[in-house]
Amino acid sequence: MAVKVAPSLLSADFSRLRDEVKRVEENGADWIHLDIMDGHFVPSITIGPVVVKSLRPHTEMFMDAHLMVSEPEKHIEEFAKAGVNLLTIQVEVVDHLDRALRKIKDLGLKAGVALNPATPASLLEYVWPLLDLVLVMSVNPGAGGQAFIPEVLPKISYCAEQIRIRGLPTEIEVDGGVNRETAHAIIKAGATVLVAGSAIFSAEDGMQLISEFKKI
Ligand code: DX5
Ligand code: ZN
């Protein structure tokens, strides 16, 4: 099955976000990936629920919010109200992972967990049935345009195996350094959703990548 492509808005022109969202939608993107950074879990600060809410009426795309924020539990309701479809929280900063995932699902959203490059996927052993998505970070979070960390490839395969064993529909999303050179190995390892920021928004022929990824 073709992978889903989720362009990361982080590399878009922030002075015209609505047009940038429309541009990737017209070029066949399945999801729009929203990188939410708080200046605490990661040094950068990006956008919050106010901006997400204002974009919601302008796209049919599935909104995939990646929370790179400390104490993510505090923000779940606000992002649900803003209209995101999937909320992914970083496992490194959740005190009560099971509770947080159930809260996201109780609000009618899909729930995801993100793992930093050094974080083992074995942490997910008892929550797999709650996960609609596992986000394998293939760069250290905080900025676009970084190089792919190949050591995460076995983690993608491990996740694929855990999902297969359990017969779950959980998606495996890979985020960071995804481009023409790295996509094949990522898909081969088991990714079902590719996030790409700089490769799509910063390259002249970046929009073509959306359909190219789907043909791999
Ligand atoms: C990094 C973000 C990514 C980022 C990816 O912290 O989570 O979504 O936008 O950017 P590229 O595709 O440029 O590596
Ligand atoms: Zn992201």
Per-residue pLDDT tens digits for 182-193: 999 999 999 999
175 is catalytic: yes
d(CA 211, CA 121): 30
13 is catalytic: no
pLDDT by residue (tens digit) across 11-62?
999 999 999 999 999 999 999 999 999 999 999 999 999 999 999 999 999 9
With 90 as the cut, is the pLDDT of residue 128 above it? yes
Taking all residues of the chain, what is their mean pLDDT, rounded to a whole number? 98
CA distances from 162 to 100, 131, 152, 158, 191 (A): 21, 12, 15, 6, 13
Kindly report the backbone phi and psi dihedral angles of residue 117, in degrees, each rounded to the nearest multiple of 5, phi listed first. -55, -35
Contacts of 188 (CB under 8 A, 6+ apart): none
Question: Would you say the pTM of this structure is higher than 0.95?
Answer: yes
Buried b (16+ CB within 10 A) or exposed e, 101-132: bebbeeeebbbbbbbbeebebeebeebbebbb
Q: Which atom of ligand 1 is nearest to the CA of 141?
A: 6
3-class SS of residue 61: coil
Residues with CB under 6 A from ligand 1: 8, 10-11, 33, 35, 66, 139, 141-146, 175-178, 195-199
- The model's confidence at residue 1, banded by pLDDT at 50, 70 and 90, is confident
Buried b (16+ CB within 10 A) or exposed e, 43-59: eeebbbbebbeebeeeb
Sheet with 171-175, side-by-side order of all strands: 4-7, 193-196, 171-175, 133-137, 110-115, 86-90, 62-68, 31-37
